[in-house]
Amino acid sequence: MPDRSFLNWPFFEDRHRALAETLEAWCAKNLPLDHHDVDAACRELVAKLGSDGWLTPTAIDPGKPGPLDVRALCVTRETLARHDGLADFAFAMQGLGTGAISLFGTPDQQRWLEKTRAGESISAFALSEPRSGSDVANMEMTAVLDGDNYVLSGEKTWISNGGIADVYTVFARTGEAPGAKGISAFVVPANTKGLGVAERLEVIAPHPLARLSFDNVRVPTSAMIGKPGDGFRIAMSVLDVFRSTVGAAALGFARRALDESVKRAAERKLFGAPMAELQMVQGHIADMALDVDAAALLIYRAAWTKDMGAARVTREAAMAKLFATDKAQEVIDKAVQLHGGDGVRKGHIVERLYREIRALRIYEGASDVQKVVIARQVMGAA
């Protein structure tokens, strides 16, 4: 039984505790899904999560706009990740893909949210390019004003849900200024002429991923989110919300690895006694539990701070993501070790977790980038 004591921490309100309990029961009944065909599995997950109401926190309600509930996002990601990495992915992308629309979209643009929250449309976030991943401000894709339209040309890569999304939030250079101040954000429906999938990308923990080509993709000026030149600020504001949730997914993976290890240590006999009686094993379990709790504290501090109305939580979110993802990697590695040969057997839960965790230390700002962000915040504040 996973540790639920953290739900009594003062960071949460009763609605978060209720969410954790009811979602746990839903996961036990519905997950994991067959992942043989990841596109089909993702579509099914989005539809199921949507129809059963779990996608509600991913975006604001256009009917009665309010802030995103970051604690609800984190509790949901942590719970889903503990059961099924692909379910967490399906949930997370509905939020990341529409974050800019929730935070800065016009009422017309926000009509997409009714569909993404219901699981009737799939969304994606298209920021990275072949020559600008960490170095976002250097992006090359252009959006040129032509009458009442912008014409988008270039490439985006590593786009999660690329190929299955119905709508993309796309960032492109509009040129108001060099670097970060010359980028704008757009809502681009997937069926817009000139937008295509140049390549599908396969990674160690499969999920829908693609390189996209934009060949003179024409969108109306009303597709711009915010003002010309606001794109970088918009992207960073979205990441400010969703970075803590990446940490929460890592926490879910780490909790599962810890639970599996505790079970294994109790069941497996070594040298005539349960493995759990070996002090070195106890040492590993203690380290794992410590890292899990410390990660949870940083994540829910960041989420709570944002929910309490902080305009930005750059430092808190970067700390939460960095610590939770790096430590989850260590916790899962220990779990693999404690499972012996079974730990590296294809399809074993800890083998799956070992593959699942790796990309979280790279996307939405690599661990090294989070360190730069934290240092800048700390030194800037000094």
Question: Catalytic site residue 364?
Answer: yes
CA 349 to chain centre: 21
Annotated catalytic residue: which of 155, 316, 356, 364?
364
276 or 362: CB nearest ligand FAD: 362
- The two three-digit tokens of residue 327, written as one number: 């430590």
Per-residue DSSP letter, 176: S
Q: Is 208 in the site for ligand FAD (CB under 6 A)?
A: no
Single residue of 134, 221, 222, 282 touching ligand FAD by CB under 6 A: 134
Q: Is 197 in the site for ligand FAD (CB under 6 A)?
A: no
Single residue of 45, 86, 127, 265 touching ligand FAD by CB under 6 A: 127
- The two three-digit tokens of residue 135, written as one number: 């170095």
Return the range that interacts with ligand FAD (CB under 6 A); candidates 120-128, 213-221, 313-321, 332-340: 120-128
Largest CA distance in the chain: 80
Q: Is 140 in the site for ligand FAD (CB under 6 A)?
A: no
Q: Is 159 in the site for ligand FAD (CB under 6 A)?
A: yes
70 or 209: CB nearest ligand FAD: 209
Q: Is the Cβ–Cβ distance between 110 and 138 less than 8 Å?
A: no
Residues 262-281 that bind ligand FAD (CB under 6 A): none
Exposure pattern of 58-70 as b/e (b: 16+ CB <10 Å)?
A: bbbebeeeeebbb
> DSSP per residue over 26-85, as a string?
HHHHH-SPP-SSHHHHHHHHHHHHHHTTTTGGGS--TTS-----HHHHHHHHHHHHHH-H
93 or 262: CB nearest ligand FAD: 93
> Beta 167-173 vs 183-189: how paired, if at all?
antiparallel
Listed residue (145, 114, 122) closest to 223, CA to CA: 145
State the nearest-atom distance from the C-beta of 136 to ligand FAD, in Å: 8
111 or 131: CB nearest ligand FAD: 131
Residue given tokens 């070195």 in the structure block:
280
260 or 326: CB nearest ligand FAD: 326
Exposure pattern of 209-229 as b/e (b: 16+ CB <10 Å)?
A: bbbbbbeebebeeebbbbebb
Closest-approach residue to ligand FAD (CB): 133
Return the range that interacts with ligand FAD (CB under 6 A); candidates 16-24, 115-123, 132-140, 257-265: 132-140
Single residue of 6, 11, 26, 125 touching ligand FAD by CB under 6 A: 125
162 or 343: CB nearest ligand FAD: 162
Residues 1-60 that bind ligand FAD (CB under 6 A): none
Residues 353-372 that bind ligand FAD (CB under 6 A): 359, 362-364, 366, 368-369, 372
Q: Is 126 in the site for ligand FAD (CB under 6 A)?
A: yes
Q: How far is CA 281 from CA 115, 139, 294, in A?
A: 48, 48, 20
206 or 343: CB nearest ligand FAD: 206
Q: Is 128 in the site for ligand FAD (CB under 6 A)?
A: yes
Q: Is the Cβ–Cβ distance between 104 and 230 less than 8 Å?
A: yes
Return all residues near 295 (Cβ < 8 A) that are at least 6 apart: 247, 250, 251, 254, 320, 323, 324, 327, 328
First to last CA, the chain: 44
Q: Is 163 in the site for ligand FAD (CB under 6 A)?
A: no
**Single-letter code of the amino acid located at 355:** R
Q: Is 160 in the site for ligand FAD (CB under 6 A)?
A: yes
State the nearest-atom distance from the C-beta of 378 to ligand FAD, in Å: 16
State the nearest-atom distance from the C-beta of 316 to ligand FAD, in Å: 20
Q: Which positions touch ligand FAD (CB under 6 A)?
A: 125-128, 133-135, 158-160, 203, 209, 359, 362-364, 366, 368-369, 372
Active-site residue list? 364
